[in-house]
Amino acid sequence: MINVIPNWRRFSSSRYGMCMCFILTGILLSIGGCGDATVEMDRPLPDDLKPYFSPPAEFENDFGDYRSPLLSASGDKIEDEGGWINRRSELLQEWHELLGEWPEILENPETEYVETTQRGSLTQHQLEVEVAPGWTRNAYLLIPDLEGPLPAALVVFYDAETGVGLERELRDFALQLAKRGFVTLSLGSDFDTNYYPDEDSAVLQPLSMLAYMAANSYHVLANLPEVDPDRIGIVGHSYGGKWAMFASSLYDKFALGAWSDGGIVFDESRANVNFWEPWYLGYEQGVWRDRGIPTDENPRTGPYKRMIEEGRDLHELHALMAPRPFLVSGGSEDPPKRWKALNHTVKINRLLGYENRVAMQNRPTHSPDEESNEVIYRFFEHFLQ
């Protein structure tokens, strides 16, 4: 029996028109279109994953100084599922207003097959994928020699080669997941190429643009006959971890997300948690700050400046995942204390009647290792296979 997490597929296509069929029963959930969006719920966690779904005792029920997402913009406390539906819509709208409204989603993006090779039991296609109107990016598609429909994963990084094992070590998420029976798409886009429509007049913050490109790339996978469109996750490391977090949070057709040490909250004590940079959330037309942690001489810019002034943080994005599962594969930038932010989404899931939807595994270094990667793969297998 296939275990599939709650389907939010139709939610994003009608962001302001969610219907109240959100709850059918304690077992089935439907969102948005109220049609075929019903799926199975939880099955028990395997023993090897259980430890990652609970915070260390010192952070249990510690919510830090983050403003609760269960408070509306007007300060009303959210106490039931219906209230969360409205609050989620409000949050999503606020974030799109902050970062720029997306162009229309490309549900049938153009895809050019450049080269096809065989890698054992995997067929590899090099592609040029339409990621935005008039924009293409290099990608690699891996298809296992298995009967479908299969689960799938979008893997995001600076370049597409890394995800399929042609570049850096221990970042070949697309190759390893394909070996485990997933159709995978490895997508690359360097950090200085994401200003839409151009660097002088960008209408989206670059991280939001990356999320939009991922949303369109979701449809590249979803349109394949080998893929089950309800079982597509997204994963990335570092820069890709930021990208995967924003994409899965802002586009709910992704069934789950795995975010490897990209920095899941704002933290100006960590130079690599650099959301303030103009190629992430600090873009401001006509202003180009120097690279580095904000100072009086090199101040914050763009929406990042506004969010800090308003006391906002990325835990609001995490909240948009509920009840879809996500895993933080934390290293030097996302240590165990990040549970203070994650506990807010745990609380929302409990309001909705769900446990074991938020996980974090930790390692001492920024770079992924074999153990941390194995947890990512097991996370995908548990929820999507």
pLDDT band at residue 28, thresholds of 50, 70 and 90?
very low
C-alpha 91/C-alpha 309 separation (Å) is: 17
- Which structural domains are found in the chain, ordered by start? 45-265+313-384 (3.40.50.1820)
C-alpha 346/C-alpha 357 separation (Å) is: 7
C-alpha 348/C-alpha 69 separation (Å) is: 8
Q: Specify the higher pLDDT residue, 152 or 11.
A: 152
pLDDT of residue 109 exceeding 90? yes
pLDDT of residue 361 exceeding 50? yes
pLDDT of residue 8 exceeding 70? no
> What pLDDT, on the 0 to 100 scale, is given for residue 26?
36
C-alpha 46/C-alpha 17 separation (Å) is: 37
Mean residue pLDDT of the chain comes to 91
pLDDT of residue 316 exceeding 80? yes
C-alpha 321/C-alpha 319 separation (Å) is: 5
Amino acid at 364: P
Compute the average pLDDT of residues 72-95.
97
pLDDT of residue 6 exceeding 50? no
C-beta of residue 229 within 8 angstroms of C-beta of residue 10: no
Q: Give the global pTM.
A: 0.91
> What pLDDT, on the 0 to 100 scale, is given for residue 254?
98
The string of pLDDT tens digits covering residues 218-237 is: 999 999 999 999 999 999 99
b/e per residue, 46-71, with b = 16+ CB within 10 A?
A: eeebeebbbbeeebeeebbebeebbe
